[in-house]
Structure 1
Amino acid sequence: MILADKIIRFRKKNGWSQEELAEKMEVSRQAVSKWEAAQTTPDLGKILQLSNLFGVTTDYLLKDELEDEEFIDSVDETIIRKITLAEANEYLKQRKDASVKIAIATFLCIICAIPLFLLIAISELTPFPIADNTAIGIGVISIFPIVAIAVYMFIRVGFKNAPYQFLDKEPFGTEYGVTGLVRDRQNTYHSTYVKYNYIGACGCILAPIPLLCGTFSENGLLTMLMLCITMLIVGISVMFFIVAGVRWSSMQRLLKEGDFSNKRKGKNKITEAIGAAYWLITTAIYLGWSFLTNDWHITWVTWLIAGILFGVVDIICNLVIDKQDEK
């Protein structure tokens, strides 16, 4: 009961309600209520946070006597950086804008090979005589400016996000009102988040239909056009995923939920490194196969296969990491 009494004493001394203390401690009001009713005890991390918040030693909090307070020399406010309402608003606005730019840049990367495919198909038509090598050369060259625009957008987004990188690298807290603000934004956006994911998933499922229709035709140009339509549908579907995902993750990051909870952070770093290596290898295989065989109309399946296998790789990685955590 002693710890519970001390929590109540300091909460009232500071004029905080249970909701306000819960906000500062980043827990639910029910958790604070259980602490004060001695139904549960805060873990060591929360004891340290209470010590810093109340300005007393951890020994005082953990002693089984209600004696005079043992104040620490000074409360180090820099131990945990606090996110203000203004910073939270600015961060959410920045990530909302970034979600659109990232989606467009990714879309450009997906469709960058469309001019190449169309030129290859046109080179086979009699009314538009273009040498195969010329068509391939122009098509390959056209990829570079498209990718350059995408890379420029990625870099710009990265620079604008630089001031908020501490959210992934340092412990942080939130000032009063921030969690409530973000939670309201999250609840408001939830239906849009679900809708965008449905659209993205349906688009990816339906995307192969034009390509399958094109394969039944002996017209090379039509087949290439169907392939390009498939790529456009995939690109648009991925844009919906990215816009929804970036905005939702920004809210989860501030709330320390989902992939941004303390438990998931270590796993995310490992899976991100594996994912980066996986897609670099996939890109190398795609380009190597394409340039060596010149079968650009076939080698695109590399991305389809890689996309399917990546889900399997991700599941295996998470299982292995979970096994290691249990040991």
Structure 2
Amino acid sequence: MILADKITEERKKNGWSQEELANQLGVSRQAVSKWESAGAVPDLQRILQMSELFCVSTDYLLKDKMKAENITYHESTESYAEPLKKVTMENANEFLDMKRNGSKVVANATSMCISSPILLIVLVTMAEDGVFHVSESLATVFGCVFLLGMVAAAVFLFITYGMRESHMEHFEKECFETEYGVSGMVREKKDSYEPIFIRGTAVGVVLCILAVIPTIIAESMEASDYYCGLSVGLLLFILAIGVNLLVRVGMVKSSYDTLLQEGEYTKEEKLFKKKTDTFSGVYWCLTTAIYLAWSFWTMSWDITWIVWPVAGVLFAALLGVVKMVLKNGSETQHYI
């Protein structure tokens, strides 16, 4: 089998069109078409890129008589060694069910974290306005106990879910092959879920935008501290619902992308993700620390929530820069 046939075979095996492969390699669709028709030969850099994308060795691509070996790329040694894991129909369905059920757990735990300060804010503002004759110290104690209890319960849910799914985390981090019929089944389920994902994402984003309206109304009417506190509590409650929707539909959709090795789970992205995991962990830990420190220092929960959308935008931008640096460094090493 010549190089042109091998490119065609590996591309189809991964379920990519010529245009999709071209986008991943940074070339035109016409270039891929010429390679597959043996009208042109890709340069060395593209050969190296394809070997990583297809999880095969460069020897297999370049030597006509060499057969595929089902081998995967090891970034630490820059060599190819162990066989790719096979994903059966049973494995795929188990993974999809786990993610679907887990999306509810993670979404609810996230909402619990967001809504945990509500009681503290409402009780403290009630105490300041003398509503129901609640003392400020007692309101603070009850509010803090509720906040810490909600956060502790959320952390418990996060940990237990992480432990339950740990035996399948390799789907998101390593290259694999699917048995016959698996990709078709997953593709069908993804297509049928697409309207739900779009609707859930749209509603979630709209709720996050509208959440600030109660606070704006309270401020514009120069309401008392008690009503301002209620408006902030309502803001966090609506925000919690919106984020809950976004997390649920996002996790389910990502489970389909994971098995199809599309989007953020292509073979190339997995190689980069191994290198960016540390950056992601440090970034979100710092963001959480900044949010909590600013919130407790100022007690302006109606303002500090803005940390999360800003952090999300900055994370996407910084992650893009990190990937660009890593990609350029990888290309430089290959040329050397």
TM-score by length of 1: 0.77
For 2:62 and 2:301, the matched residues in 1 are separated by: 68
For 2:62 and 2:317, the matched residues in 1 are separated by: 46
- Would you say the 8 A contact 1:25–1:49 is kept in 2? no
Answer yes or no: is 1:261 the counterpart of 2:260: no
- Would you say the 8 A contact 1:211–1:227 is kept in 2? yes
Q: Which runs of 5+ in 2 are unaligned?
A: 22-31, 72-80, 330-336
- Cα 1:170–1:128 shift into 2, 3 Å: same
RMSD: 3.6
Answer yes or no: is 1:228 the counterpart of 2:230: no
Alpha-carbon shift at residue 33 of structure 1 (Å): 10
- Would you say the 8 A contact 1:25–1:46 is kept in 2? no
Greater Cα shift, 201-210 or 24-33: 24-33
Percent identical residues = 28
- Would you say the 8 A contact 2:211–2:235 is kept in 1? yes
Deviations 1:209-253 (A, max 9, x none): 011111123322111111111111111111111011101111111
- Would you say the 8 A contact 1:200–1:240 is kept in 2? yes
1:124 partner amino acid: E
- Cα 1:36–1:155 shift into 2, 3 Å: same
Match of 1:3 in 2: 2
1:26 to 4, 8, 14: 14
TM-score by length of 2: 0.75
Deviations 1:78-135 (A, max 9, x none): 6010100111011111101111111000000000001101110221343522221221
- Cα 1:217–1:181 shift into 2, 3 Å: same
In our comparison, the structure showing a higher alpha carbon Rg is 1
- Count the aligned residue pairs: 299
For 1:281 and 1:50, the matched residues in 2 are separated by: 38
- Cα 1:38–1:315 shift into 2, 3 Å: same
Q: Which runs of 5+ in 1 are unaligned?
A: 8-17, 52-56, 64-69
Greater Cα shift, 25-34 or 135-144: 25-34
Answer yes or no: is 1:312 the counterpart of 2:317: no
- Would you say the 8 A contact 2:3–2:62 is kept in 1? no
1:45 to 40, 51, 70: 51
Answer yes or no: is 1:200 the counterpart of 2:193: no
2:216 to 207, 212, 218: 212
For 2:143 and 2:249, the matched residues in 1 are separated by: 32
Alpha-carbon shift at residue 290 of structure 1 (Å): 4.7
Match of 2:147 in 1: 143
